[in-house]
Amino acid sequence: MTQPRNPVEPFLRMDRMPHIWCPGCGIGVVVNCFARAMLESKTDIDSVQVVSGIGCTGRIAGYLRMDSYHTTHGRAIPFATGLKTARPDMKVVVFSGDGDLVAIGGNHLIHAARRNVDIKVICVNNFTYGMTGGQVAPTAPIESVATTSPFGVFEQPFNLAFLADSAGAVYVARWTTYHVRQLAKAMREVLQKPGFCFVEVIAPCPTIYQRRNRLGDALDAMRFYKQQSKLSEGADTRTLDIPMQGPIPVGRFVNRDRPTLLENMNTVLGKRLGAKFTPYPTGVTR
């Protein structure tokens, strides 16, 4: 009898395992759910390109066995925008951490959402900068302890779902690493949906965030997500703040349709230039 293989192995570079993430890190769960979503939606591995920035989450590009790009800090979205514009037939997925995506790359995030670039952004939010040693992240909850804020963070953190919604994303969801089935389903949905999709995943960081805040290990974090997650499907995104160790609203909040950047370009330039304009392929079938 041959030894059965893990069904997600075709999507991973197994020669690089074990990966560098800490024991219990939530990023592995996110990769696992993404591989599962690819498997379940029978997405062709050659039709997906993965772009990631810098940080712990930035390492995802190195572990997925598809065309993947590890770009500079915060610039995963500009890179993905160029990729999508050059190859509209491809599905472009951006994996990024909260520090990479909303701190240094915050401007790119809001403008990609505004223009409705057809990319899928999966943000792994662990409330801290893991790889650089636990500095205050723009998502760090008030009163949480970080290396650069030893007496507690006093800045108002970003509500990422609200940010993406107000900037114009067509799909906004938030899940935790406890909700693996829902997360895999959300990833299946965004792979099919045209437009700028944003999925926030709350993930444990046992080495930095949990340890500095004395919140136990990764398993404690998962139990906490299980107890404290509050299903809020379709809720007003303004109400989705995550307090320090408070209830975490999860669910799919926004699912709407808007023309994408390339569709808008074809509409406007086609109207202005008439027969002189050759429509650019958009990769969208509506």
Partner 1 sequence: MAEKEKPKKPKGEVHVNREVCKGCGFCVEFCPSHVLALDTAFNRKGYHPPVAAKPEACNGCNLCGLYCPDFAIFGVRLGKAEEDSDEG
Question: Under the criterion CB under 8 A, does residue 17 sit at the interface with partner 1?
Answer: yes
Question: Under the criterion CB under 8 A, does residue 58 sit at the interface with partner 1?
Answer: no
Nearest to partner 1 of 8, 284 (CB atom): 8
Question: Under the criterion CB under 8 A, does residue 40 sit at the interface with partner 1?
Answer: yes
Q: Which two tokens stand for residue 160?
A: 């990422």
Please select the residue that binds partner 1; options are 12, 60, 123, 163, rule is CB under 8 A. Answer: 12
Question: Under the criterion CB under 8 A, does residue 2 sit at the interface with partner 1?
Answer: no
Q: What residues does 230 pair with on adjacent strands?
A: 249
Please select the residue that binds partner 1; options are 76, 185, 229, 266, rule is CB under 8 A. Answer: 185
Nearest to partner 1 of 2, 285 (CB atom): 2
- Altogether, the residues listed in the chain come to a count of 286
Question: Under the criterion CB under 8 A, does residue 218 sit at the interface with partner 1?
Answer: yes
Question: Under the criterion CB under 8 A, does residue 4 sit at the interface with partner 1?
Answer: yes
Question: Under the criterion CB under 8 A, does residue 16 sit at the interface with partner 1?
Answer: no
Please select the residue that binds partner 1; options are 1, 2, 7, 158, rule is CB under 8 A. Answer: 7
Tell me the backbone φ, ψ of residue 207, rounded to 5 degrees: -80, -35
Tell me the backbone φ, ψ of residue 33, rounded to 5 degrees: -65, -35
Q: Which two tokens stand for residue 199?
A: 């999925």
Question: Under the criterion CB under 8 A, does residue 3 sit at the interface with partner 1?
Answer: yes
Tell me whether residue 178 is exposed, middle or buried, using C-beta atoms within 10 angstroms of its C-beta: 0 to 12, 13 to 18, 19 or more: buried
Do residues 208 and 134 touch, judged by C-beta distance below 8 A? Answer: yes
- 91-97 sheet: strands from edge to edge: 67-70, 48-52, 91-97, 119-125, 197-202, 171-176, 248-255, 229-231
Contact region for partner 1 (CB under 8 A) — 44-52, 65-73, 150-158, 179-187? Answer: 179-187
Calpha distance 158→164 (Å, rounded): 10
Site string for partner 1, 223-262 (x = CB under 8 A): x---------------------------------------
CA separation, residue 20 to residues 68, 74, 109, 111 (Å): 18, 21, 27, 32
Shortest reach from residue 44's CB to partner 1, in Å = 16
Nearest to partner 1 of 128, 176 (CB atom): 176
Nearest to partner 1 of 66, 261 (CB atom): 66
Nearest to partner 1 of 19, 111 (CB atom): 19
State CA 158 to chain mean position distance: 15
Do residues 71 and 65 touch, judged by C-beta distance below 8 A? Answer: no
Question: Under the criterion CB under 8 A, does residue 131 sit at the interface with partner 1?
Answer: no
Shortest reach from residue 40's CB to partner 1, in Å = 6
Do residues 230 and 250 touch, judged by C-beta distance below 8 A? Answer: yes
Nearest to partner 1 of 17, 142 (CB atom): 17
Question: Under the criterion CB under 8 A, does residue 14 sit at the interface with partner 1?
Answer: yes
Calpha distance 15→63 (Å, rounded): 9
Query: Where along the sequence are the contacts to partner 1 (CB under 8 A)?
Result: 3-4, 6-9, 12, 14, 17-19, 21-29, 31-33, 36, 40, 180-181, 184-185, 217-219, 222-223
